Amino acid sequence: MSTEPHGPKPLLVLGKITDILDAFTLARPVLSLGEIQQVTGIPTSTVQRLVSNMVAEGLLDRVGDRVRIGVRMAYWAGAAARGVDLLELAGPVLRELRDTTGETAALFRPETGFRVCVAVAETRHALRREMHVGKIIPLHTGSAGRVLLAWDRALADEVLAGPLPTITDHTVTDPALLRTLLTATHRDGFAITTAERDDGGSGLSAPVFDHSGSVAAALTISGPTIRLTRARCEQHVDLLVGAADRLTRTLGGRPPG
């Protein structure tokens, strides 16, 4: 007669716990047991047992009859984030976006009134928008600038209080209009712009957050408008927002509360 203990092997249990944790995203931070079962495919009885144990250990917290990632996890995420290099993590994400969309993917950070390209995976098309690490662009132009300002009110106030130089015929130079567009970006969770910093170019950007809930960077897809039309940008929204979500989670980040 076998003397092995009944039930799943330890590594199988860890795999199921990981699947449950992976079911939560920034777009769906609170889930019911039924939703967890649908996302993971784990049997209902197993989900109920594991979720109960995870709540008891602080990995999950209850919100009424639903659950969310436990606050205890934030302590581990914060410690992990201190040893993680955003640029190192961004490389694979940028290359995946480039290979999937065919367009240039880049990461931007704010720097003294400008946004700076800190990482890039260039398109393989001969026709492209010029982009390189270290490229400096005014914060009030383009989708990346709009994202960085939309989630940083103090920075937005500073930029909107100063001059907004005209770069192209489509550059937004009216502070009131730009503030309205920032509100829309914050509501939508992404920004799409065309010909704001160079004629014939389009961009799509989404925010990446750090462990404090502050915007850490803007993840961007950009290309010639003749190829990256408004309709094509809209087709890439879910892909880009999902990539920004994954990068945020890898950093141990969270959206602002």
Domain positions in the chain = 10-70, 81-250
pLDDT, mean over the chain: 88
pLDDT (tens digit per residue) in 175-197: 999 999 999 999 999 999 999 98
In CATH terms, the fold of domain 81-250 is Beta-Lactamase (3.30.450)
Q: Kindly report the pTM of this predicted structure.
A: 0.69
Q: Among 127, 204, 138, 219, which residue's Cα sits nearest to residue 171?
A: 138
What are the structure tokens assigned to 120, written together?
């890039």
Residue 72 confidence (pLDDT): 74
What is the identity of the amino acid at 8? P
Residues with Cβ within 8 Å of 226's Cβ and at least 6 positions away in sequence, in order, are: 127, 200
- Percentage of the chain with pLDDT > 90? 65
Identify the pLDDT of residue 227: 95
What residues contact 107, with CB distance under 8 A and at least 6 apart? 86, 87, 90, 94, 117, 118, 119, 120, 208, 217, 218, 219, 220
Q: What is the pLDDT of residues 88-145, one digit of tens each?
A: 788 899 999 999 999 999 999 998 778 999 899 999 999 888 898 888 899 999 999 9
Helix (H, G, I), strand (E, B) or coil at 77: helix
Cβ atoms of 67 and 58 closer than 8 Å: no
| 19-59 tens-digit pLDDT | 999 888 767 788 999 999 999 999 999 999 999 999 998 89
**Given 1.10.1370.30, 3.40.50.720, 1.10.3720.10, 1.10.10.10, which CATH number is that of 10-70?**
1.10.10.10
